Chain A
Amino acid sequence: QVQLQESGPGLVKPSETLSLTCTVSGFSISSGYYWGWIRQPPGKGLDWIGSIYHSGSTYYNPSLKSRVTISVDTSKNQFSLKLNSVTAADTAVYYCARDLQQYDYWGQGTLVTVSS
């Protein structure tokens, strides 16, 4: 059974960098597929952030592209998200998921609050 788990700080100060890691179990990232990040502001809808292939190829939401970096560490079976220059508008539950052109396996999500 494929499982994903997000980890990282739950509180980030404005203008700093949000960093999250997704650890995958039950499936080797090196086997293929894209792996993605999606976020959901409190009480609002889903917002696609971007995805990465096991080889490192990435694609990002154009509205976030200037601030986002997604990377992969196949040796740890993990992929990561960095979002810089955060503001209160980046406060959200952040999900990682397996991307098969639809998201079939999701992490439980982690709330990141941007506040001083």
Chain B
Amino acid sequence: QSALTQPPSASGSPGQSVTISCTGTSSDVGGYDYVSWYQQHPGKAPKLMIFEVSKRPSGVPDRFSGSKSGNTASLAVSGLQAEDEADYYCSSYAGSNNWVFGGGTKLTVL
């Protein structure tokens, strides 16, 4: 299985909105509603931000939202804040008890 494709970087000014894409195939992102997103600050463990495409765990601000269209999933962050600056990774079920991560996107708050 191949890694999901994410843009290496994204950026936005405080208060603005930004969207990060995660492109796979019909065998992973497009085939299942098991897409999740993780936020990782430097030197820290990843934190679950979105699961099952668009669900938010308790405690995650509603500024974070997820969606999917075809083979591409997206993470949207609205009202950007300085603490949103981090690396973001998507993950998807890929069938036959296999999972795959994206390469990661570095989000910079300008």
Residues in A lying within 8 Å of B, measured CB to CB: 38, 45-48, 59, 61-62, 95, 100-104, 106-109
Contacts and interface: CB of A to CB of B under 8 A. Distances in A.
Interface in B37-58: 38, 45-48, 51-52, 57
A103 B46 contact: yes
B52 A46 contact: no
Q: Chain B interface: which size bin?
A: 20 to 34
Nearest to A93: B45
A38 B101 CA distance: 10
B64 interface: no
A62 B38 CA distance: 23
Interface stretch (B11-19, B68-76, B92-100): B92-100
B108 to A, nearest CB: 17
Interface string B72-110: 000000000000000001010100011111111000000
B20 to A, nearest CB: 14
